[in-house]
Structure 1
């Protein structure tokens, strides 16, 4: 009897593991972008997003698609998931390609650094998701000297250790200077292995946050209550926000627009990872977008000779790479900005129009 019970339990768990990804609707996991609140609390939830997109591509036999990687700008902050660039772009791309099923999957996520973008490419490779058509966004602050922060790989340093050990070892001193302590004792190594590899490999555990979200949304719908909007913040234009004038003088912003001369060699971790990205994308169709600053709000920073010289250095560096390069500094009118760097919904529509003109066909 005990043997039979164990057998039935094992069979149940195997079936549950296999069925769980099909049980959770894709809109719960990915609705035009990843779920920020879930990813913020558990970055492993983004792995579920990738798995779900892989399943979507396979189930619907999607042959033509593109990928967006980037930070909070291409994520669409602070608007909701129906106000992001890929939403505005997909319809036009379906017309341009003649494929009514064309998809543009947005895998950008706030605070991603160049190191995170590189790791995302490796994660996509592992899942067999093509990056033959890729949009990347980076920004001026991505190349600012790190003293010592932020982390050069903000989210995915554990994945980097597994997927590219030499790059992990290269950036480890900078990560450790920012409080990241790699597992060293037997207990730490075992705990890390369980949390990073073993438990997430069991789908009911990996999908647990999305399962809770699905139940919550079901309960709200049943009670005829609205599902909360997934906007990240205030989407009003910047000129309606009196607090921004104080905010742009905080150290966080000052550091982001540092005008000290940039080191544009591989000694700069961001150049190191950007070179890795360029090598990965060799012979692929890639659009690299440098997002711009609000020229009015940040005038005291961007008008400095050092800032202009650094921007020219970025232009020379990225412009020399075998990709389509688009510098948006000063291109989008300031009236479309919601703060110093992000856009209002109409601004993201405007951004999509510009990006579409350069999208790698």
Structure 2
């Protein structure tokens, strides 16, 4: 039936034009759709490949038992100069000796603890909300610093003599303070897509920061001048960092021998030498299946917080598993030393 007021020829021309327009749209959209479908398949294949770890690249053995905390979930880990293991989760901080026995020292804060560092004298620096709290080695509050600002998300703290450096993911910068909490400077314009922004300071006075959006670790002097960087993005080569923003956390090996890095999304822990050359895995993705929803873990057990890591004086790698609130301990294989 043709619309009223139109001749048969006009109606026919309209139909033909409509069909031509539909065909043109399909000619443009269909190849794009098929390409996206193919790309999705390729991405899935990349993920499956990254999830499989070559056993020959595993450089560490996991030691048992792990350190079981009494926290519901965990976020941060630090190791003191005498190898005490300090863990935070929510508003709580717990301390364990090197054998995993819980010690009496506990701290509870009014807000979630988002960062932690321990000085050589045992004093503790906690990122709590928009500010830093400083405690002595017995857990007595010494100082509450001024607010960093309303946008602040404090994610990491590093100590070097009289300087304290604080990574702020909310403002995508690093703040420098003295030990009294007086701000000296801020530096950096980092690309931080999510609230993971780690830093560490070496014994020789270099500051390392994870610029996660660039998939690399950068080296600075203590005045904030960029010296060098290493790291690449790759969803194929295990030498690179995958996903949107990795590595989420890292630690320095003793004597500046290299780096231990953690990634989220596909959770894995890797080792690089001091120049940033990939050496292998501490632990592969198979050992952290609870971090990948593709394994069918119920949503209420899936915790998006990335792994955190610290290294003790013996070179043992302490990996904090937030989903299980335990510290998993890894030691270099004897035939790999």
Between 1 and 2, higher relative CO (CA 8 Å, sep ≥ 6) is seen in 1
Query: Which protein has the bigger strand share?
Result: 2
Please give the TM-score of this superposition, normalised by the length of structure 1.
Answer: 0.26
> Which is helix-richer, 1 or 2?
1
Q: Report which of the two structures shows the higher radius of gyration computed on alpha carbons.
A: 2
Using the size of structure 2 for normalisation, the TM-score is 0.28
